[in-house]
Amino acid sequence: MMELEKIQNTAIIGCGVMGFGIAVVILNKGYNVVVVEKDKPSLERGLEYIKKFYEGTVKRGKITKEKADENLFRLKGTTDFKDIPENSIVIEAVYEDIAVKQDVISKVEEVVEEDTPIFTNTSSIPVIEISAKMRFPERFLGFHFFNPPPVMKLIEIIPSLKTDERYIKFAIDFAKKLDKDPVVSKDTPAFIGNALLIPFILEAVSMYEKGISTPEDIDKACKLGLGQPMGPFELADFMGLDIVLQIADNVFERTRDPRFSAPAKLRELVSAGFLGRKVGRGFYDYQKPKPFGVEL
């Protein structure tokens, strides 16, 4: 298999909320990055957000203009999977839907070498399910960043029953090279972080539905009483209410665990298109929505 020290290229499939942040993390570590999107408008939007991210970090003095320009020079975009360079690490970061992910992975396998490491940023779907149609599932595993990737230190490494031990070690070493702290989880729905987080958010929404308290006071209680940096409603708005609902539904469909049964209020807001900070309204109103709901 590939030697990590000799790899210079990374391909990221999807440049939405997570793909955008993952691209920044990897560019900051000196890799060449190709982002692959489904169509030209999605690609242009994703690349523009990466450029705006670097403009903002330069203005805030977190990076020099020279370094930002160097990073952007190593960034390419395409809608053709054939443009994935040889000797790349591939990270899939598309919408949390098993059919979409399987289609993307199938297209990746058509154009890369059989020993190319292919990782999924899935936040809830078992890796073994995504890999069901792969020709070489032994090189596939979960590599789950947390939002926003440039800030959050954790990466969950999720091998399936078919993942070769060599690729698990490779993934752990790659996470460390990105200055992230990896943890290894069994291949169960939602893994570690979201298996704890999503029921917490859903319980807060249920408390609000029952009239126990307001989102503002529940958030305040969690921050001041539990020492959390963000309350559950602030965090849900930051993640995107559609993402929270998708994760909850994915786990509930597979386990029937009542902790993942989404409250009606969450479904109502998602149906209305009030998805959180990225659109300017969720549980809270935001006067000026920020790109992807993040300002890093």
Annotated catalytic sites, by residue? Answer: 123, 144, 156, 194
Element housing 226 (H / E): helix 215-226
How far apart CA 213 and CA 207 sit, in angstroms, is: 7
Phi, psi of 168 (to 5 degrees): -65, -50
> In the beta sheet, which residues pair with residue 140?
118
Helix %, strand %, coil % for the chain, to 5?
50, 15, 35
Please list, in sequence order, all residues whose beta carbon lies within 8 angstroms of the beta carbon of residue 19, skipping any fewer than 6 positions away.
12, 13, 35, 46, 93, 94, 121
Closest CA to 238 of 275, 189, 207: 275
180: tokens are: 């992230």
> In the beta sheet, which residues pair with residue 158?
142
* C-beta separation of 77 from 15 below 8 A: yes
Closest CA to 243 of 209, 206, 213, 282: 282
Dmax over Cα atoms in the chain, in whole Å?
57
Q: At what angle do helices 232-239 and 193-209 cross, to 10 degrees?
A: 120
How far apart CA 47 and CA 77 sit, in angstroms, is: 7
